A and B are shown apart, each in its own frame.
Chain A
């Protein structure tokens, strides 16, 4: 009995995780973004699914994203342990064993793909499988530790959910789905590099070759500006497809203007000035990037409502047919 007590006392925070710890393995904050963008992909699609099918599609897409998050935490436990931002994650904190994270990630990956197939269609399930593979293997195991362009290519995995939502409803990939993908894909580098500008020491400690670590902050600022300038036309052109409209165009125009101005400000900043105000402009740009993505997808969703349709007709706005 004494031994058992000692065992329990010594493992206060190991090997017997609570439900919340397992939930944390699925990266609930990332999942919420996935749920939102996948939902928009479903809502803006021209085909309506049964509400239960839509609910199932969203749940299994989110579960797939969560599964890849668990696989990421299993593989990256050594990095997470070093970085202040991630040190409290369940595996580095000792709440969940690495093997458990692997088991949970692999099981939920298979379950989410098969269930999405049964709930919707094979193409959507195949895309989800590819997304999980891309995030867990291509990004986490390969790119993250080997190239400063890690988040550029790895960002694709975060860009797939709205496309999967669209494909779940329609059964095919179209220009609209590709544009939603591209908006997130092009948005990811400036978003993460802005974060890296003020979290540089974390990545440096963990020896993650973020652009700020390998090429310095000056180069990162240049890259942020270039990607922001490339992102703007992609986001704006979506206004002229079936998922866009005048409301989306107005929202996108304002957001892109603010985003380009923000990127230009970061580009002109000297390191001394940034350090003096503790990277205030970089933090503002990061916050703006979150609003940028949320409001773009919210505008897509608004354009799918009958009121937006009526407004478009009133203005004589016509979408270009790209099929």
Chain B
């Protein structure tokens, strides 16, 4: 048995490498597509900068901000 490129072992390795390549490329494409989809939907992306931002906290009312009223203003 000669150890040539045509050996079944080489074919299997080549097939495996090609399969892994296709899977990795598909994964990259999927993550890229997901990123675009989430950006299009306008989901918050500031949350990942490790810095607390008052304007992103739904429990915090910023005086004078659009859509907010000082406490007791409606009474």
A residues engaging B (CB < 8 A)?
1, 4-5, 8-9, 12, 16-20, 22-23, 50-53, 55-56, 59, 118-119
Residues of A within 8 A of B41 (CB): 50
> What is the minimal beta-carbon distance from B47 to any residue of chain A, in angstroms?
13
Main secondary structure of the interface of B (DSSP, over half): helix
Within 8 A of A (CB), among B19-71: 19-20, 30, 33-34, 36-38, 40-41
Specify the chain A residue showing the minimal Cβ separation from B3.
A5
Residues of A within 8 A of B20 (CB): 19
B73 within 8 A of A: no
B residues engaging A (CB < 8 A)?
1, 3, 7-9, 11-13, 15-16, 18-20, 30, 33-34, 36-38, 40-41
- Which one, A1, A18, A59, contacts B15 given CB within 8 A? A18
Bound together, the chains give a CA A182 to CA B37 distance in angstroms of: 33
**A118 & B34 in contact (Cβ 8 Å cutoff):** yes
Residues of A within 8 A of B15 (CB): 18-20
Bound together, the chains give a CA A119 to CA B43 distance in angstroms of: 12
- Which one, A5, A20, A51, A55, contacts B1 given CB within 8 A? A5
Residues of B within 8 A of A51 (CB): 37
**A9 & B40 in contact (Cβ 8 Å cutoff):** no
**B36 & A17 in contact (Cβ 8 Å cutoff):** no
Q: Which 3 A-B pairs have the closest CB atoms?
A: A19-B19, A18-B12, A50-B37
- Which one, A4, A8, A119, contacts B34 given CB within 8 A? A119
Specify the chain A residue showing the minimal Cβ separation from B36.
A52
Could you list 20 further interchain pairs (A-B, Cβ under 8 angstroms) beyond the known A19-B20, A50-B37, A50-B38?
Answer: A1-B3, A8-B1, A8-B7, A9-B1, A16-B13, A17-B12, A18-B16, A19-B15, A19-B19, A22-B16, A22-B19, A51-B37, A52-B30, A52-B33, A52-B34, A52-B36, A52-B37, A53-B34, A53-B38, A59-B30
Specify the chain A residue showing the minimal Cβ separation from B20.
A19
> Can you spell out 11 A-B residue pairs with CB atoms less than 8 angstroms apart?
A1-B3, A5-B1, A8-B3, A12-B8, A19-B15, A19-B18, A23-B19, A50-B40, A52-B30, A118-B34, A119-B34
